[in-house]
Amino acid sequence: MREFTREELSKYDGKKSKEIYVAYKGKVYDVTDSNTWFDGEHYEHEGGRELTEQMDDAPHAEEVFDDYKVIGELVD
């Protein structure tokens, strides 16, 4: 499994790259093909970021990530 630092993850923000990756609870997900992410953004969330703390305010549960492929792990 590929390891991502926060700096590496930030390169996949949907703006500097076509891919959009986000991290949640240490896992990195590819949300590129999601129809809810546009130009690297999903409401107030930005691609290429760690979203664990932001999920506390989300209107959905963490099961939303079940729809996306885990492509790596976030390492600090």
Instruction: Give me the pLDDT at residue 60, please.
Output: 65
Looking at the structure of the chain, the number of domains it has is: 1
Question: What's the angle, vertex CA 8, arms to CA 70 and CA 64, rounded to 5?
Answer: 30
| Beta strand spans in the chain (E) | 2-4, 21-24, 27-30, 41-42, 45-46, 69-74
pLDDT in tens, 24-64: 999 999 999 888 777 887 767 789 889 888 666 665 667 78
Backbone angles phi, psi at 10, to 5 degrees: -65, -20
Name which residue leads in pLDDT, 58 or 19.
19
The pLDDT-based confidence of 23 (bands split at 50, 70, 90) is very high
Q: Give the domain extent around 15.
A: 2-74
pTM: 0.86
Burial class of residue 14 in the structure, from the number of CB atoms within 10 Å of its CB (0-12 exposed, 13-18 middle, 19+ buried): buried
